Structure formats: structure tokens, C-alpha cells
Amino acid sequence: MATVQKQANGNGAAVRLTQLEQEGEYENIFLFIPNLIGYSRVVLALASLYYMPLHPRTCSILYSVSCLLDALDGYAARKYEQSTKFGAVLDMVTDRCTTTCLLVFLAQAFPRWSIVFQGLISLDLASHYMHMYATLSMGGSGQSHKNVDESRSWLLKQYYSNNKVLFTFCAMNEIFFIALYLLSFSSPLLSPTLFSDMNNPSSIQPGSPAAPKPSQFFASPFSAAAMEMARANKMDSTVPWVLMLTCAPVMALKQWINVVQMVKASQWLAEGDREMRRKAGLPKKSQ
């Protein structure tokens, strides 16, 4: 140990780190089991985004598995006593990014409703950011964003305190958007440019723009014309419709929870601002 201290040349941090490594107390947080699951979620999410424009079935499977692993990493964190701040942030960032990317695609698939999807993206990001920031700045750095005082918000307390409730809301919210994504490939009612007969591209829904001939399609598989051909791969829209309509009430309530979360976080931050200004003697009375 003395040799290690001499080699550090007065660098206390290096000495402490080396000591911890030799004593077997140093833990690599990045290789914790729940964090490894989190990395796999990121990989699956990226793969689903790659297949999103042209392969709805493959994309939906990859995206759904990534979402389901969201529950597994929490279970692993509790089972192996590996709950970390890094893991919590990784989990939240992955959730926000994947949902945002799906909503961006839906805004493209349903351009008339793009402002709705833009609003949902903004609400989701603003709500969670303000809630996390308020928790860290007002509740202390050691407090989890899921520890909500019931006196501050009964609704948020019920939402965050029960893992089954939280999982149900998040899962049904994602299922709603996945179902809507599938309907953009399968329902002429929502996507009127879908070909009614794949073998006859000129046969389209009334009111749709004229369909180009296959020979006129761009060579790029990610062109707008290629996307229309992928959407012409007629899928049965019954199951997506059932899933979307079933999950719609929960999705709407989830958005209301986001609104409540943002309002309560704003009020909590304002309380801190008032207390800080009071201690600083602001506003200072002019002579």
C-alpha cells in the first residue's frame, strides 16, 4: 500500500481509488445488471427506428420489447440492490427519446395532426424535466423523483408509489401510439393514400393524389414513394383499432398527469424562489 501511495505523488483521489480497487470495494456502476438492460433497450430502440419507415411489424416488435424491458431493469435493480442515479436517468432519457421519435414519425404520417404530436412531445419533455429538476433542487440530491409527498399531489403520489399502476399507465400509453403507428400502414380511413389494391397501384382511395407507376418510384428504399409501397402492404387494422380505442382513456389520463406534474413542479420551484428571495432580503427597499 505504501508503494501505491508513493506512486500517486500526493494525488489523494488516485490513492483512494487504487485502495478501493485493491480492497474489492470499487464497483463499476456502468456494468450493473439493470444498466446493462438499459443499454439493450437503447439498442432495440435504435433498431426499431431503423425499421420504422418501411417495416411496421418488425419495428413494433423491437419497440415493444424495448418498452417491456423498462419493467425488467427496475426489478433487477431491486433484486440485486443496484439502484443508481445513473440508471434512473438512463431509464428516463431512454423513455423520453423513444416516445419522442415515435411521435415524430406519427407527425409525419398524419401531417394534419402534427401540431397535436408536437404538443405531446413538448408536454412530455417539459413535464418530466421540470419534475426532475424540482425534485433535485428542492427535495435534495438524494431524493428520487418517484418520492412524491401526498400533500403536494395526491394524483402523483398514487401514480409513482405503485409500480403496477405506473407500469400499466406507461405500457398502455405506448400501446396507444404503437397501434396508431400500425394504423398509419393499415387503415385507409386514417391514411387515405394507402393503395386499395397492391397489384393495381392506380386503384386508390377517392380524394387521394394520383399514384405514381411503380417504374417511376425512386430507387431509394426510404423515399416517399417507397414508403407508400410499404404502406400498401395491407395489414389487418382490426387489432390496432381495438388496442388504440382500449388504451385511449389511459393515454388521455397519462397526458393529464403530465400536466399536473408540470404545474406542481412549477409551484414547488416558485416556493423555493420565494424562500430564497426572503432570505436574501429581496426586493430591497429603495431609500
Residues known to be catalytic? 95
Neighbours of 125 (CB within 10 A): 15
Dist CA 247 CA 173 (whole Å): 7
Listed in sequence order, the residues at least 6 apart from 206 whose beta carbon sits closer than 8 Å to its beta carbon are none
Give the residue among 171, 163, 130 at the shortest CA–CA distance from 146: 163
Helix (H, G, I), strand (E, B) or coil at 204: strand
- Secondary structure of the chain: what % helix, strand, coil (to 5)? 70, 0, 30
- Residues 56/185, Cβ–Cβ less than 8 Å: yes
Coil, helix or strand for 195?
strand
Cis geometry, peptide bond prior to residue 53 (ω within 30 degrees of 0): no
**Structural contact between residues 176 and 119, judged by C-beta atoms closer than 8 angstroms:** no
**Which cell is 151 given?**
400533500
Residue 73 and residue 76: Cα distance in Å, rounded?
A: 5
Across the chain, where does the E strand assignment appear?
none
- Give the residue carrying C-alpha cell 505523488: 9
**Radius of gyration of the chain from Cα atoms?**
25
Q: For residue 213, what are the CA distances in angstroms to 134, 202, 203, 223, 283?
A: 56, 8, 11, 14, 71
